[in-house]
Structure 1
């Protein structure tokens, strides 16, 4: 490395930021993470990490801690209005709906924080308001006290609507976002007598759907999904709308949805961890500018529909750190190899099935019936072993991403 450790500032203490910080420390950098919320976010829905992400957790030595707090979800069942099961897709260690590492987002964030807090400086309740850079450094201004600090690298690991990304690239916050016209409302409540360790998916007419799943701690995590091509739901999702008003909107929307909707609406109204967010993708034209680089959702959010958002974030975090370790005195080369090596893989994950997400959330009862029939046939094929047989014959379509060796970080 150089005479003094490179100083790196990471914006975002979610999943990608702490993973990246861990590996940057292994490469010998001085790392700080700034997070605009005042505390670590321990809420959120369940996410999964598989394949390459699992390998990175192994290399970090946190797999045992992660596995101890997984949801133990058995799989996903598709149910009808009467509670009847149209199809079941069990967790089987492969690429099913449920992965072996199915974990509440807040639980994973807590593990990553505990694993890095001794070596990484965390600045909670602060954010970046200005960015200036030259050939030798990047200068940022912090919102909390207006101070300016110089760093060698700025890594933006924020979410979909990253204001820091907008500052760095001098663009509108929404510029790189591809809308999918879908919204989620998430919340949790205590497990009831009719709840099991299976996740359940239910469709109601009017492009409404419910995903209801266990969290492994005696609670259920529910998602209300709604596709809306008007501006009504987007207006409610505005930061100017209070949580209580957002709850009222979703309660009205689901008042006649059927199945368990009445119980779930009641749980939503009583919950203290409600949040609403847009389902969309980020397709940034480039992932870096000067000494600033994008990571995770800020660079290439594939949307929850892909089921790979967290996995992509973890892999990008590792690969970017490996490139910085490989080119400690040449950030341009590091950022270029990071992007060129990962673009094709990430864009493949961002490529959603034709008609998604609308086909999975039909408008009419007839559409729901057709979808459930498809689910019934698919479930029969999966549970008969035919799908696995085809995988063995033809190999996996997803060849995965080749991770750089740990040796690039030196002695770890």
Structure 2
């Protein structure tokens, strides 16, 4: 049997296994939010399970149901609740437009691509130093995310449930699930004018089967305080945009994690048409597991070599397993923190360490073509840091050569059998 037939059979076998999982979970009923393999650091998240189920179709209802009460400016609504989003809820233009000091940022682009602008965060922001200052126009709604309370599930009904023009903020909360949504069109082309999901001082979060597209800044931003027990799984991170840092139609600002401490699983996601920060991780006490993600760039030559995926600060511990880097200039930036990631099966010595600490072999990644800039390393300290964690928080990867078929078939909204 040739390699192509082997690959097809293996991919069908993995897809079939997923179908069994989905089919089994679908019989658990309409309030089942744990279908399709919640694992990793967020494995204990239940969201609004057991609470009231509400359906929302308007900006007013969604805002209210996500957080019904506030105390000292923070969401104090801890009551379990499942919020089902129906159709498209569009916040664009609902709060008027604003102007603020900023500058043209990045490169000047030729059509069809457009140059990004940057909105300064405050008077101390130095991003525009050395550039000509100007007034930057933005949609106010995008700068004011919706607050989400603890013990909430936010889930789209059907494949097309969408939030436009405004993101979600999880600030000082715990036990939140966000699934099956498209979050899009938040001040596209304006940096610092709104993230899709912002996480700060939060614990137990599951972000699953969503699509992110046409955003000015980060698709997911975490930081400034603990960001712990987070699983980010089966999402479609779609960076295609007319605005781009390098005039190539690829979004640069994607995933940013700066919390202290951090425990984050990034699994089974589809990253495509992006030019960096997938993810960017920094901050002390950061333990990150990147597993079975598909990084795909159709435009590597045009990007001029600027695409990178993993970019980790010096203190980060990152276990990189079973990922497929397809036409990626720099899968892992050199100089990144503590990295353990195989590009082959690994020596007997290396695998013996994996067996002794993890109870299994470490799964190799695939990078095609072999990266010219190679940041893959085998830092044993990473394995030791994972050895101190509960085994339930460390998912077992499937082989990397199955990743493209499985992830493109299952990532993003519309693949939840329980809805």
Instruction: Give the TM-score range, shorter chain.
Output: under 0.3
More helix by share: 1
> Please, what TM-score do these two structures have when normalized by structure 2?
0.22
> Please, what TM-score do these two structures have when normalized by structure 1?
0.22
Structure ID, larger Rg: 1
